[in-house]
Chains A and B, each alone.
Chain A
């Protein structure tokens, strides 16, 4: 089974702190994604990556950056956390190439910024 593991299920940070969210997948997937999920809204794409050291902005990249130094690991960084970044963050991966795009998700990291 594909496993996508997110490093922290729950985090509480203060405004202005730097936050790292780590995501690791174990199925050699090419594509990795970071989404945020807020009540009443659909999943919103922050950043995605189709290859090592490659990154593309999603719909809401402002205030975030990412790093993909190894194929299996995709990190989301909040340089200076703000209260409007309080959310559930979901990492996902997919095979890549000509596949249908089925996503495999991690269990999420719920971030609260005070």
Chain B
């Protein structure tokens, strides 16, 4: 079966750096997405990786290793507003999105 694994919950301190991991086992691979979802709100797109390596976008970076079935989202200079759930999703060989259950990130002052 197809599977996306990410930690259920993480806690970090304001101003620090946090890395949220995502491992996947899917039938084929056509890209990996990260979405951010604040409580009670819609998920919003953060990043898309299809090639190995690091993609940087401001305070957020996303890394992909296709050979390891692994990605991480790196958040730097954490702010209180970064408290949210972070969803990892993989586009499989049929171009269907397979979603992880999400990682709830709690930022403490």
A-to-B contact residues, CB < 8 Å: 4, 40-45, 90, 100-108
With a cutoff of 8 Å between Cβ atoms, the chain A residues found around residue B7 in the complex are none
Chain A interface, >50% SS class: loop
Residues of chain A within 8 A (CB-CB) of B40 are 107-108
Name the CB-closest residue of B to A38: B101
Contacts of A40 on B, CB cut-off 8 Å?
8, 101
Interfacial chain A residues near B8, Cβ < 8 Å: 40
Cross-interface CB contact of A42 among B4, B44, B45, B96, cutoff 8 Å: B4
Beyond A42-B4, A100-B31, whether A105 also contacts B42 by CB under 8 A is yes
B42:A101 contact, CB within 8 angstroms: no
Asked whether B48 is an interface residue with its Cβ less than 8 Å from the other chain, the reply is: yes
Q: Which residues from A are CB-within-8-Å of B97?
A: 43, 45, 101, 103
Which residue of the partner chain, among A43, A100, A107, contacts B48 with CB atoms under 8 Å?
A100
Q: Given the interface contacts A42-B4, A43-B87, A100-B31, does A105 sit within 8 Å of B44 by beta carbon?
A: yes
A103 close to B45 (CB less than 8 A):
yes
Any A CB within 8 A of the CB of B99: yes
The residue of chain A having its C-beta at the shortest distance from the C-beta of B3 within the complex is A42
Rounded to whole Å, the gap between the CB of B55 and the closest CB of chain A is: 12
Q: Knowing A100-B31, A101-B31, A102-B33 are in contact, say whether A43-B99 is a contact too (CB < 8 A).
A: yes
Contact (Cβ within 8 A) B102 A101: no
Chain B residues closer than 8 Å to A107, beta-carbon distance: 40-42
Interface string of B16-45 (1 = CB under 8 A from A): 000000000000000101010000111111
